[in-house]
Amino acid sequence: MPEAKNENAGRINGGFELSRQIEKQFIKFYQEHGHYHLPEYSLISQDKDLLYTIAGMIPFKPMFEGRQQPTHKRVVTSQRCIRTNDIDSVGKSKRHLTGFTMLGHFSFGDYFKQESIRLGYKLVTEIYGIDSNNLIITVHPDDRETHELWSRYLPKERIVLTYENIWSSGQPGILGQCTEFFYDFEPHKKLDSIDLDSDRFLEFYNIVFVDSQVDIDGNIAPNPIKCIDSGLGLERLTYVLSNKASIYEIDCLCQSFEHPILKDHYRTCS
């Protein structure tokens, strides 16, 4: 597949590394909208069920579950993560990594769906300069509110309903429907048959509407507070904005190695 050209990419591409600019712009944007910037947590997880920090929300699980009072109701972070569940896809696909940085904004009992969608869309289109014609948004079919909110920004053909849009931290754990941002590398093509797993589309941003808890038997109950959990993949967005052929060619992966697996594993271990 030829390289997709993002005409707006140069909008923030005036410095040394595009990935650093993306990270700084994310933090600055959410700080300007009332979020407190917390430093990165350890890559070694404090969660007894995990070896590594696998997502930006892991350090905040007690707040999400209502077991601990948050020091700030709005938080923004940049968190290094390690995941090995897709390790067999590293080097074979254009998008998978074991080590990555997750940019996240979180709300603990403050704003919910309307504000998170408004801010997310503003960030992606105005700060990062992504054309709305390059966006596909996924929504859970039962989430009528989110579907209606997105219809204010995008035409119906760019809003995809899928039952996969529900997220849980496990059983027991927190639970919520979500909305995902996909980049469309070939917006000129028809949308009558959408395969979101194809190379045409790339998921880069996910917002979870945490409003429930699930127990070990699968019983669902309301969460003590409504929260927002989010994750924007720094490397994936850098791939989108840099017009590279794959994620393994972006600036924050070592270019001393030619093989994608070596690039990924070297960075994960460094």
2 assigned to some structural domain: no
**What percentage of the chain carries pLDDT values higher than 90?**
67
Residue 183 lies in a domain: yes
Is 173 inside a domain boundary?
yes
Q: Could you tell me if residue 91 is inside a domain?
A: yes
CA distance 65 to 62: 5
> Would you say how long the chain is, in residues?
270
pLDDT digits (tens, 9 = 90+) for 170-220: 878 899 999 999 999 999 999 988 999 999 999 999 999 999 999 999 999
Q: Is residue 20 part of a domain?
A: yes
Residue 2 has pLDDT above 60, yes or no: no
Question: How many domains are contained in the chain?
Answer: 1
Q: With bands split at pLDDT 50, 70 and 90, how would you rate the model's confidence at 7? A: very low
Nearest to 111 by CA among 233, 222, 209, 223: 209
Q: How far is CA 9 from CA 126, 130, 168, 184, 232, in A?
A: 11, 8, 33, 14, 17
Residue 1 covered by a domain: no
The answer to whether residue 17 is domain-embedded is yes
pLDDT of 8 strictly over 80: no
Question: What are the structure tokens assigned to 120, written together?
Answer: 């997310």
SS3 32: helix
Locate 100 and state its tokens: 């990555």
For residues 172 and 151, the model is more confident at: 151
Tell me what pLDDT residue 15 has: 38
Distance CA 215, CA 226 (A): 17
Q: How far apart are CA 53 and CA 61, in angstroms?
A: 12
For residue 58, what pLDDT is reported? 87
Beta strands in the chain (DSSP E): 36-37, 74-82, 99-108, 135-139, 159-161, 166-168, 173-184, 201-214, 220-233
- Largest Cα separation within the chain, whole Å, is 52
pLDDT of residue 151 exceeding 90, the answer is yes
Tokens of 126: 């105005």
Is residue 4 domain-resident?
A: no
Residues in CB range of 24: below 8 A, 6 or more apart: none
Residue 206: count other Cβ atoms within 10 Å of its Cβ.
Answer: 21
Structural domain boundaries enclosing 208:
9-188+196-269
CATH number, residue 121: 3.30.930.10
Six token digits for residue 247 = 């994620």
Mean pLDDT across the stretch 236-248?
94
CB 175 within 8 A of CB 127: no
